[in-house]
Amino acid sequence: MPRAPKLLARLAAVAAAAMLSIQGAAAQSILRDAETEALFRDMSAPLIKAAGLDPKNVDIVLINDPSLNAFVAGGQAVYIHSGLITAADSANQVQGVIAHELGHVTGGHAISGGDAAKAASGISLLSMLLGVAAAVAGAGDAAMGVMAAGQQAALGKYLGFSRTQESSADAAGASYLSKAGISGHGSLEFFRKLQNLEFRYGYERSDENAFYSTHPSSGDRITRLTETYEADPAWKKPDDAGLEKRFQLARAKLFGYLAEPAETLKSYPPSDSSEPARYARAYAFHKEALMDKAMTEADALLAVEPDNPYFLEIKGQILLESGKPREALAPLRRATDLTRNQPLIATTFGHALIATEDKANYAEAERVLKASVARDRENPFAWYQLGVLYEASGDTPRAQLATAEQQALNREMPRALSSAQMAQASLPKGSPDWLRAQDIAFQARAAIESEKKRR
């Protein structure tokens, strides 16, 4: 088979595999999206600083889980469920949740036990509409904590914090909001959401209920926090309009990506011409392979904001995944430039360059993808694309090394070990690439031995 058809076949194969892998990992995967991650950084930065931490060292991680929940699991990371984002009405409500969880971080209230650190078993790139997913850690019970009917026992097990810790996190969160000059009204609104869930699903406070035996009731927390927030100078401060607009867009995007298209169209009907509604429908139509309708929504968004990199990104994705990679280059190149080579967007651009099967584009694709993994190494799809590119260029040793990187992120350690060993055998001994292959081999062997002992 000629090289070009081989390349196309390999790209098609990863797309098909991705659709299968996301189904298995969806319940516990980490969602990666450039727009949402930028929003989280800007929403949380003043709160993180108020907590005495460095925003560069604190991660806000989005978990693909429909339940209304957030948690910390060791280190300086706050995990937020997608269900919480879609349930929240405003950016300020999410800031209230983040402030509370930062109270757990600074208070050292992380969930005990090694499994808690494995809160997510995969990475799903929201930036890739195909849903390219990769398992990056073992299945973790922590990510399965939920706040929904019929799962009271799981709640009690997962939310094993003491009342003292919860009250401490409430107080700390309130202080961080105050120091950051952010109103606490969103925090109270969110606690009222929790209270409504309690009423709706008939939770009753009793010694037998693990949830209520370890947490103060939402009513008590609302009463206590209302006094604190109403006395704060920031209480009547208006919300940040820019953040709120960005939140509504990211929320709609997430909804369109995760929900069934029919549900998206019900929540964001065609009669709604707002930007969030068009954003959600663009994803819904694309999932239904209604490319003309998806493109209409994307073009309508760009007519209002022609230099919005995320609107350019969605247009490029629709074109790329509709079999028009050449047409996708212009919007994706512009999106990459506007975001100063944001790694997730740059990966999509690199994918499009390779998908043209034009060797004249390979040098640019290599530059883009190498820059992407240099800034964000935990992107298995970027490594996969590099592997495809190296193989197409006849550089088999580096293709094997890139494959080993991808497989290590996917926790496919036996395969990662094999690929790393093959790369080592052909790479110049002692070179940076050879040393990296050696590191992956050591990592893979250690993981394999650990798994054997565990069994």
pLDDT for 199: 76
> At 113, is the pLDDT very low, low, confident or very high (cuts 50, 70, 90)?
very low
Residue-wise pLDDT for 328-386, tens only, equals 999 999 999 999 999 999 999 999 999 999 999 999 999 999 999 999 998 999 999 99
- pLDDT of 212: 42
Position 110 scores a pLDDT of 66
In angstroms, the first-to-last Cα distance of the chain is 43
Report pLDDT for 89: 97
Would you say the pTM of this structure is higher than 0.75?
Answer: yes
pLDDT of 169 higher than 50? yes
Which of the pair, 410 or 152, is modelled with greater confidence?
410
At residue 264, the pLDDT reads: 98
Residue 177: per-residue pLDDT: 97
pLDDT at 67: 87
Q: Which of 67-76, 129-138, 250-259, 398-407 has the lowest mean pLDDT?
A: 129-138
Select the more confidently predicted residue: 421 or 197: 421
- For the chain, the average pLDDT equals 83
> Contact 399/391 with Cβ under 8 angstroms?
yes
Specify the pLDDT at position 19. 32
Q: Return the pLDDT at 26.
A: 36
